[in-house]
Amino acid sequence: MNILFIHIKELLQTRDKSEVKMMGKSMSELPHIKNAFLRIKGDTIHSYGSMSSLVIKATDKVIDITGKIILPTWCDSHSHVVYTGDRSQEFVDRINGLSYENIAAKGGGILNSAQTLQDTSESDLYKQSIERVNDLIKLGTGALEIKSGYGLSTEAELKMLRVIKKIKEDSAVKIKATFLGAHAIPNKYKNNKKGYIDLIINQMLPKIHQEQLADFIDVFCEKGYFSLKDTSQVLQAATKYGLIPKIHVNQFNAFGGVALGVKHKALSVDHLEVLNEEDIAVLKNTETMPVALPGCSFFLGIPYTPARDLIDSGLPLAIATDFNPGSAPSGNMNFIVSLACIKMNMTPEEAINAATINGAFAMNISEDYGSICVGKKASLIVTKDLTSYRQIPYYFGNNPIYKVMINGELID
């Protein structure tokens, strides 16, 4: 039996498989078919087109969705969704005047989350995290990158990565795992950063490799965290094990992290709230995807990634949630698409490209996700009745979703 959606008001993001990322002016194009059909066979997109060209088959199970729009599920290429405990006290501290940096300097922030995580069992961590992932699916996320980095000891980093691996096995959505041991310097190594980097390189990485726990390597390259030299060392060691770099750079300070990422052939460079001309220049003619995290800018009240400068200079841009308990406690990609339009001056077409096809590129999953394409996975958002896809970002904070399909299965 095939599932056949008919009378789709707009079928969005219909593309050839050869189109793997949108950049510059091409980001403003969002190909779509009005009054369309879409046929799903098993977990795969079988065919699509205009209703006028449809021939219904005996094996089709027809679903009429007059008034509704279909687009590929969101590809959220940057999250820290495996964590435990919340940091609402720090949220209140910030309301009362402390900065994110002040809080971290007092031993809060990432170290606060690491302490709680070390005291939580693997099964408990899994239970809390998979619940969050299930909530995200209902909000339209069909592919998700998840980072470690709240362990900061060999045992706790492995615990996080094993939880991510189990989510990968159990969840219907596509999961990619990133090792972010170099997220902060744990208290034990406060005066011995070199010792912690040695631990990452000589102890954590070999074990992660042995258990095949990660796809990507990440480092928080920032003042007070890991320098260019530290970052380079970790990336070099990890790439020997086949891990591909995706790094946190230019969140608070610009000091060459983007160029370093490009030098190490990073799949993506993420955050980029503080970006200078050299950073933009160095990204040109590379395969590195810039990723903006507007939920973090919104929550911390820091600058937004200058999307217009990036796109207008011909570069691609992806957007992701950064879902984490400290700087962005929301994994709602619909809101991220709204923020991209409202706060970063991206058009709805650019924001939707950034959250689908470019997000898939930033996770190396363009083969199966990110567009409506024959042969790709049938992971789809069916919207409520909307006049046009522009209403997705326009109605910020609303849930535009009627149903989500993951790999050919409608989610309840």
Give least dist CB 326 to ligand NIG, A.
2
Give least dist CB 263 to ligand NIG, A.
21
The answer to the question of residue 126 lying near ligand NIG (CB under 6 A) is no
> Residue 219 and residue 210: Cα distance in Å, rounded?
21
* DSSP-assigned letters across all residues of 41-64: ETTEEEEEEEGGG----TTEEEEE
With CB cut-offs between 5 and 8 Å by kind, which of ligand NIG, Fe ion, none does residue 113 bind? ligand NIG
- Counting every residue, how long is the chain? 412
The answer to the question of residue 218 lying near Fe ion (CB under 5 A) is no
Q: Which is nearer to Fe ion, 322 or 368 (CB)?
A: 322
> Residue 182 and residue 232: Cα distance in Å, rounded?
11
The answer to the question of residue 370 lying near ligand NIG (CB under 6 A) is no
Give least dist CB 251 to ligand NIG, A.
5
Residue nearest to Fe ion (CB): 322
Give least dist CB 264 to ligand NIG, A.
18
Q: Which is nearer to ligand NIG, 270 or 368 (CB)?
A: 270
The region of 24-32, 69-77, 122-130, 322-330 touching ligand NIG under the rule CB under 6 A is: 322-330
**φ, ψ of residue 379 in degrees (nearest 5):** -110, 110
The region of 107-115, 159-167, 190-198, 341-349 touching ligand NIG under the rule CB under 6 A is: 107-115
Which residue in 77, 79, 84, 113 binds ligand NIG (CB under 6 A)?
113
Which residue in 10, 90, 322, 349 binds Fe ion (CB under 5 A)?
322
> Residue 21 and residue 38: Cα distance in Å, rounded?
23
Which residue in 77, 268, 327, 407 binds ligand NIG (CB under 6 A)?
327
Question: Could you tell me how many residues of this chain bind Fe ion (CB under 5 A)?
Answer: 1
The region of 6-14, 45-53, 236-244, 324-332 touching ligand NIG under the rule CB under 6 A is: 324-332
Give least dist CB 240 to ligand NIG, A.
25
Strand partners, 74: 141
> Residue 328 and residue 112: Cα distance in Å, rounded?
15
Residue nearest to ligand NIG (CB): 326
Q: Which is nearer to ligand NIG, 290 or 326 (CB)?
A: 326
Instruction: Tell me the torsion sign for CA atoms 13, 17, 19, 20.
Output: positive
**Is residue 402 within 8 Å of 384, Cβ to Cβ?**
yes
The answer to the question of residue 220 lying near ligand NIG (CB under 6 A) is yes
Judged by CB under 6 A, the chain residues 240 through 279 that form the site for ligand NIG are 248, 251
DSSP assignment letter at 390: T
The region of 17-25, 161-169, 317-325, 385-393 touching Fe ion under the rule CB under 5 A is: 317-325
With CB cut-offs between 5 and 8 Å by kind, which of ligand NIG, Fe ion, none does residue 109 bind? ligand NIG
> Residue 328 and residue 158: Cα distance in Å, rounded?
24
For 307-329, b/e burial (b = at least 16 CB within 10 A) is beebbeeebbbbbbbbbbbbbbb
SS3 of 191, please?
A: coil
Candidates 310, 303, 252; CA nearest to 277 is 310
> Which residues lie below 8 Å from residue 290, measured CB to CB, with a gap of 6+?
268, 269, 270, 272, 283, 305, 310, 315, 316, 317, 318
Q: Which is nearer to ligand NIG, 186 or 325 (CB)?
A: 325
> Residue 233 and residue 212: Cα distance in Å, rounded?
21
The answer to the question of residue 109 lying near ligand NIG (CB under 6 A) is yes
> Residue 40 and residue 202: Cα distance in Å, rounded?
47
The answer to the question of residue 336 lying near ligand NIG (CB under 6 A) is no
> Residue 381 and residue 405: Cα distance in Å, rounded?
6
The answer to the question of residue 298 lying near ligand NIG (CB under 6 A) is no
Chain positions contacting Fe ion, by CB under 5 A: 322
Chain positions contacting ligand NIG, by CB under 6 A: 109-110, 113, 220, 248, 251, 296, 322, 324-327
